[in-house]
Structure 1
Amino acid sequence: MTVQAPYGTWPSPIDAGTVAAHDGRPEFLGSVGEELWWTEPRPEEGGRRALLRLAADGRHPPVSVLPAPWNVRNRVIEYGGLPWAGAPRSEGGPLIVFTHFADQRLYALEPDAPDARPRPLTPLSEVTDGGLRWCDPVVLPERGEAWCVLEEFTGEGPTDVRRVLAAVPLDGSAAEDRGRVRELTGDGDRFLTGPRLSPDGRRLAWLAWDHPAMPWDGTRAMTARIRDDGTLETPRAVAGGREESVAQAEFSTDGSLLIASDSSGWWNLQRVDVEAAETAEATEPGRGPVVPRVPLCPREEEFAGAAWKIGQRWFAPLPGGLVAALHGRGAQRLGVLDPETGELVDAAGPWTEWAPFLAVIDSRVTGVAASPRTSHEIVELDTRTGHTVVLASHHKDHVDPAYYPEPQIRTFTGPDGRDIHAHIYPPHHPDHTAPAGELPPYVVWVHGGPTSRAPLVLDLEIAYFTSRGIGVAEVNYGGSTGYGREYRNRLRQQWGVVDVEDCAAVARTLAREGTADPARLAIRGGSAGGWTSAASLTSPLAEGLYACGTVTYPILDLTGWATGETHDFESQYLESLVGPLSEVPGRYRERSPLHQAQRVAVPFLLLQGLDDVICPPVQCERFLEQVKGRGVSHAYLAFEGEGHGFRRADTIVRAVEAELSLYSHTFGLRREDVPPLELRS
């Protein structure tokens, strides 16, 4: 029987506890011999990342190798990177190295040993808050070392830091002696990815870039020959440059170097002649050497993405020469590429989005995949048969899937006729409808980054709202990844303009066409999405459009953020997003919500982690001082023990319920399933 009730008042079995329990996804999938290993979130255990192991025979479910409080995660570039690696051994089982979040040390683990306890490989840092950090390791038992990225803080400031490739002894001798760590490269490059070895072990490849570039702006693929004593010959840039982003470099099984480069305007796969590149000279400053490259599958699609974490893998060479590759416009699906013919065959199955974590065992490719009806699963493709199977993290319907939203992929028209990509999630309930003529409230969701995108996958937080009768519009505004470099570059010097305009254009179109109630529109986002949400409440470009907003761990003061209030990785990001501070200081002030706080006229919710070093709470505190006494209803919830991105179950529950409470208050909805939000003026 269908029940008629106003939008936003519908009952739902998807509560905030369900949302919190299933927040996050498996990450950093890899193979160790015939086994699969990966990390997985544990919101109910304080938000730690567990390390899981799936035996080669597949007869038993995966096991968590380390008990709480072991947390397999690191803080390199603050967003972290590949936190573990392993190598099979002829006796004694595999050898695993991993980073522990609490002290940022690198540890070794022999999981099959009688007393399988982690032992430290690197020293405790003399600098508080993790002055020595490690990521993206490769375990080399034959050399008795693990090679990885070392991030070392040299002072108290967030940009007092150096990064090099380093070799850590596996015998533990560096646990008390920093001098036992061999540095493989100099610290002339500000940022590095971890090493990738050629099949014969004689050559190394990695990526490097420097301020003010971000990795999606300009990177260089570096190679170096490895001497017999384990030192490197002079590294050479073999591809990339200031206006070319190489997102991944990997040796194929025949020893050739494969890269994902956007030199064509799209991240496509290319083969580089390493021998020729290492002896060629660059023709212009800031550009890589001009050497022949072979495009493997030229398409106006992305075969890679933005490297927010070090060690992501969008493609993986297979024995015999085939290449497993993620590709697509917007969403990325898994395909198998024949680099000799350019033929690309997609994997069968319902999965529409694959995360950049591919692992290869013989002819089998395993990845992390999801769809609008399924959560992220560990999926294996047998390239010989084309058969796909879910190996682990099987999707389970914890509520009736009839409550899941039914998304629409749409392209909207923005200012100057530009395309704006978005996912629209209308209110959806199996047995509730709204009274005839009523239009639903809608919330515009703004993804972080901003150089990122919103994937089209099952998200129980979206379902939490849509099943209650509140629509969601996820906007992949100009600057988002997935649509080529030109689309990404729309945001250059236009942050706070293009993103605000694009979100507003989607909201206005939904209202104009009768999809959304124009009087009940809201906006929300976290990090860079928090910036756009706050900017939308303070910018004349969206004046009078939104009835309220939820702003989570945001950037609110551009000048402060550009002068020491964030971490090293993004400390010069605003050079491209806004412009050089020395040249356009007025632009930094004019666009900052902090300096336009007098324009806020609607209720808002501000959510912040007190341990956040990327978007620190001081920015929220200054913003609140500016709105105090102006008669604007607002709430501020700050969470101890949370950094940039909420991970703990109790935090997620409180944040989700507070957001719904804000909408209930603003839109006049009657709800008794969430505690009222205490608003102050």
Structure 2
Amino acid sequence: MTPATAPYGTWTSPIDARTVAAHDGRPEYVGTVGQEVWWTEPRPAEGGRRSLMRLRPDGTGPAESVLPEPWSVRSRVIEYGGRPWAGTERPRGGPLLVFVHGPDQRMYAFEPDAPGGGPRPLTPLSPVGEGLRWVDPVVLPERDEVWCVLEEFTGARPTDVRRVLAAVPLDGSAAEDRTRVRELTDGADRFVTGPRLSPDGRRAAWLAWNHPRMPWDGTEVRLADVTDRGTLTDARPVAGGPDESVVQVDWAADGSLLYSGDASGWWNLYRLDVGADGSGTGSGGRATALCPRQEEFGGPLWRIGSQWFQPLENGLVAVLHGVGPLRLGILEPAGGEPADAPGPWTEWSPTLAVAGTRVIGVAAGPHRTHEVVELDTCTGHALVVGAEHTDPVDPAYYPEPETRLFRGPDGREIHARLAPPRNPAHRAPDGELPPYVVRAHGGPTGRDPLALDLETAYFTSRGIGVAVVDYGGSTGYGRAYRERLRGQWGVVDVEDCAAVARALVEEGTADPARLAIRGGSAGGWTTAVSLTSPLAEGLYACGTIAYPILDLEGWATGETHDFESRYPISLVGEVEEHPERYRDRSPVHHADRVTTPFLLLQGLEDRICPPVQCDRFLAAIADRGVPHAYLTFEGEGHGFHKAETIVRAVEAELSLYAHAFGFDRPDVPPLELDG
């Protein structure tokens, strides 16, 4: 077929917004119950709930969703949640699961193979603040308990909260009686992860940290003895510290502790021998690095219970590692070089599980969305076992990502990835340069995965390029790169995105008159600052701002949740010491600088970046004549999960670009711009 000639941005594509919505999200929180594999999976068409999936080992069929609507397996601890379920085999056969139900945040027990084994509540409700929440559970049938993290609100403010390790009885006696929940720690630590029990059950290890540190700044590994009565005694730090980020801890089969920490400047894997007295002995009292190298064996702990490594019973360790994208490797007990899993996958999520010699995880590639993959460490063979990617359209419509390294101010490196326009049915007229959208990821302590994203393909297949920027402050490139943003949020991120955009123009890749910027959450902040800052003045023709921070002082003084309430201290500085920074960098105080059209997208139930920030910004630009649209969505929080929301947002964004870049898109509803 000879491609038809048509201007960039006007190309027709089989990837419509409903296709994007249908493939939104990814499987998460893989685990095993005996030889069975379980995980959670999104259901955008069912109100955005998350289902619990079960794959039997007998080959009787594909994975099945075991919880019908309206059940949704999702924790809201620290708002970003974490591992919401755990399971074990019952002595009489069949699985026993516990899970957190999203709408009420109660923990439930579930025995799918038992008569009358439907979900039954294990934990009570609370009328105080946001109530009681639970995450990162471990089922201990020998104690008839679930050990997990309890987040308990003590007042109406989002920072009126405490977190402890807790033991919940499996018999349901705590379902109406809070006093039946045993607290295992004293609440002295503001943040904790779930406990990991040693192979002999005599010790427990977990992570802890306190304000104002974030978990990528510094955490401690806590080790405690487990008494016969099921209490924890003599809790003491054995690794980590205020300037060392440990993001995961677990036990090897030989009783040594494994953890991922960044003492070297990179998240690497360490082994700590635990003596008979419970002290960390290691090598002269120090931990031993199993594979010391300048790449990451961990990532930012945004979700409690994330797993970048898993020890196998034969002493091998499954690890995620890499610079930027993370791949799956198998590490020998003595260390050495990881043996990487074969296959087309370039990005593995931090949700590993093991069963015998099998490793199960969630992986994706440039032409594959996230799917559940199993690796047999004996044969080295990997195969998809769940959520298998199927092409909704011809893969020729997918973008071909190009990993690039750009230079910013002072010659600093900027990691980025380009997705140029690609459509087998169209080509642009000779001499025309394509429009490009610069995408700033959220976090800001995060990065974009190297994986097929149909939302990106929606735009590239229509003739709009996308540049994904891992600006200074992103993870995946070592602690020094991550800390470029320290005190510089709203500066370095904005400069780096602008440097990539300008480089694309200078090298003849992008049309200088048709550049846009977009982002959600912290990326929404970077987008809004880019439209109001002299650092990117006159660069972008428009911007898409999703669930953003717009008033930094308000966000730092009570308008966000507890987990990130002190985050601005590292990103900007103490608000009392640097009030001018908070004002000078906040878009709400520089609305007079906005001259380009923008689209603002906001969930009305967002506890992280609340709608009041958008209201304040819109009031500041009122009557200024700047074309803009503000779309709000009932029932959506921080990030969009419902199919109808995703469709509306994606089509509105395309309509904005059509308006700003000067082409027609009759296939989407026109965006009504005020101003």
- Shorter-chain TM-score: what band? over 0.9
Give the Å deviation of 1:275: 2.8
**What whole-Å deviation, never above 9, does each CA across 1:495-541 have from its counterpart, x for those lacking one?**
00000000000000001111000000000000000000000000000
Match of 2:361 in 1: 367
Give the Å deviation of 1:58: 3.0
Give the Å deviation of 1:344: 1.3
Residues 1:554 and 2:563 are matched in the alignment: no
CA distance in 2, matches of 1:280, 1:62: 42
Match of 2:383 in 1: 389
> 4+ runs of 1 displaced by more than 6 Å?
none
CA distance in 2, matches of 1:616, 1:277: 49
Give the Å deviation of 1:126: 2.0
Q: Which shifted more, 83-92 or 17-26?
A: 83-92
SS in 2 for 1:149: strand
Give the Å deviation of 1:57: 1.6
* Structure 2 gap ranges (5+): none
CA distance in 2, matches of 1:215, 1:649: 32
The residue type equivalent to 1:559 in the other structure is E
**What whole-Å deviation, never above 9, does each CA across 1:201-229 have from its counterpart, x for those lacking one?**
11101000000000000000111010001
Match of 1:273 in 2: 273
Match of 2:629 in 1: 635
For the structure 1 residues 619 and 341, does the alpha-carbon distance in structure 2 shift closer, same or farther, using more than 3 Å as the test?
Answer: closer
The residue type equivalent to 1:16 in the other structure is A
CA distance in 2, matches of 1:37, 1:234: 35
Residues 1:107 and 2:103 are matched in the alignment: no
Match of 2:523 in 1: 529
Whether the aligned pair in 2 keeps the contact of 1:163 and 1:190 (CA below 8 Å) is: yes
The residue type equivalent to 2:194 in the other structure is G
Residues 1:577 and 2:578 are matched in the alignment: no
SS in 2 for 1:29: strand
Give the Å deviation of 1:334: 0.3
Give the Å deviation of 1:93: 1.1
The residue type equivalent to 2:70 in the other structure is P
Match of 1:307 in 2: 301
Whether the aligned pair in 2 keeps the contact of 1:280 and 1:290 (CA below 8 Å) is: no
CA distance in 1, matches of 2:136, 2:279: 28
**What whole-Å deviation, never above 9, does each CA across 1:440-473 have from its counterpart, x for those lacking one?**
0000011000000001100000000000000000
CA distance in 1, matches of 2:387, 2:619: 45
Whether the aligned pair in 2 keeps the contact of 1:277 and 1:291 (CA below 8 Å) is: no
Mapping for residues 82-481 of structure 1, pairs under 5 Å: 82-127=83-128, 130-275=130-275, 279=279, 291-481=285-475
Give the Å deviation of 1:277: 9.4
The residue type equivalent to 1:13 in the other structure is P
Give the Å deviation of 1:289: 13
For the structure 1 residues 311 and 551, does the alpha-carbon distance in structure 2 shift closer, same or farther, using more than 3 Å as the test?
Answer: same
CA distance in 1, matches of 2:249, 2:276: 17
For the structure 1 residues 89 and 586, does the alpha-carbon distance in structure 2 shift closer, same or farther, using more than 3 Å as the test?
Answer: same
SS in 2 for 1:509: helix
Whether the aligned pair in 1 keeps the contact of 2:53 and 2:65 (CA below 8 Å) is: yes
SS in 2 for 1:550: strand
CA distance in 1, matches of 2:280, 2:665: 68
Determine which of 617, 637, 652 is the counterpart of 1:623. 617
Whether the aligned pair in 2 keeps the contact of 1:303 and 1:328 (CA below 8 Å) is: yes
Match of 1:33 in 2: 34
CA distance in 1, matches of 2:276, 2:569: 34
**What whole-Å deviation, never above 9, does each CA across 1:231-257 have from its counterpart, x for those lacking one?**
111211100111100010000011100
Q: Which shifted more, 349-358 or 54-63?
A: 54-63
The residue type equivalent to 1:376 in the other structure is H
* Structure 1 gap ranges (5+): 282-287
Give the % identical residues: 70
Residues 1:13 and 2:4 are matched in the alignment: no
Give the Å deviation of 1:279: 4.5
CA distance in 2, matches of 1:671, 1:44: 26
CA distance in 2, matches of 1:582, 1:279: 41
CA distance in 2, matches of 1:510, 1:456: 20
Whether the aligned pair in 1 keeps the contact of 2:437 and 2:467 (CA below 8 Å) is: yes
For the structure 1 residues 616 and 145, does the alpha-carbon distance in structure 2 shift closer, same or farther, using more than 3 Å as the test?
Answer: same
Give the Å deviation of 1:431: 2.0
Give the Å deviation of 1:260: 0.3
Whether the aligned pair in 2 keeps the contact of 1:92 and 1:113 (CA below 8 Å) is: no
For the structure 1 residues 365 and 511, does the alpha-carbon distance in structure 2 shift closer, same or farther, using more than 3 Å as the test?
Answer: same
CA distance in 1, matches of 2:275, 2:254: 14
Whether the aligned pair in 2 keeps the contact of 1:239 and 1:289 (CA below 8 Å) is: no
Give the Å deviation of 1:89: 1.8
SS in 2 for 1:342: strand
CA distance in 1, matches of 2:590, 2:24: 34
Q: Which shifted more, 478-487 or 291-300?
A: 291-300
SS in 2 for 1:274: coil
Give the Å deviation of 1:556: 0.3
Give the Å deviation of 1:292: 1.4
**What whole-Å deviation, never above 9, does each CA across 1:631-653 have from its counterpart, x for those lacking one?**
10000001010000000000000
Root-mean-square deviation (Å): 1.3
SS in 1 for 2:52: strand
The residue type equivalent to 2:84 in the other structure is P
Match of 2:60 in 1: 59
CA distance in 2, matches of 1:114, 1:445: 51
Match of 1:284 in 2: none
SS in 2 for 1:235: strand
Whether the aligned pair in 2 keeps the contact of 1:605 and 1:659 (CA below 8 Å) is: yes
CA distance in 1, matches of 2:575, 2:492: 19
CA distance in 1, matches of 2:464, 2:559: 36
CA distance in 2, matches of 1:238, 1:384: 34
Whether the aligned pair in 2 keeps the contact of 1:238 and 1:277 (CA below 8 Å) is: no
Match of 1:668 in 2: 662
**What whole-Å deviation, never above 9, does each CA across 1:604-626 have from its counterpart, x for those lacking one?**
00000000010000000000000
Give the Å deviation of 1:372: 0.3
The residue type equivalent to 1:244 in the other structure is E
CA distance in 2, matches of 1:126, 1:591: 38
Give the Å deviation of 1:290: 8.8
Whether the aligned pair in 1 keeps the contact of 2:49 and 2:71 (CA below 8 Å) is: yes
SS in 1 for 2:616: helix
Determine which of 638, 647, 664 is the counterpart of 1:644. 638
The residue type equivalent to 1:419 in the other structure is E
Q: Which shifted more, 640-649 or 339-348?
A: 339-348
CA distance in 1, matches of 2:523, 2:224: 39
Whether the aligned pair in 2 keeps the contact of 1:277 and 1:289 (CA below 8 Å) is: no
Whether the aligned pair in 2 keeps the contact of 1:100 and 1:107 (CA below 8 Å) is: yes
Give the Å deviation of 1:2: 1.5
CA distance in 1, matches of 2:558, 2:392: 44
CA distance in 1, matches of 2:117, 2:436: 52
The residue type equivalent to 2:422 in the other structure is H
Residues 1:502 and 2:503 are matched in the alignment: no
The residue type equivalent to 2:204 in the other structure is L
Whether the aligned pair in 1 keeps the contact of 2:255 and 2:274 (CA below 8 Å) is: no
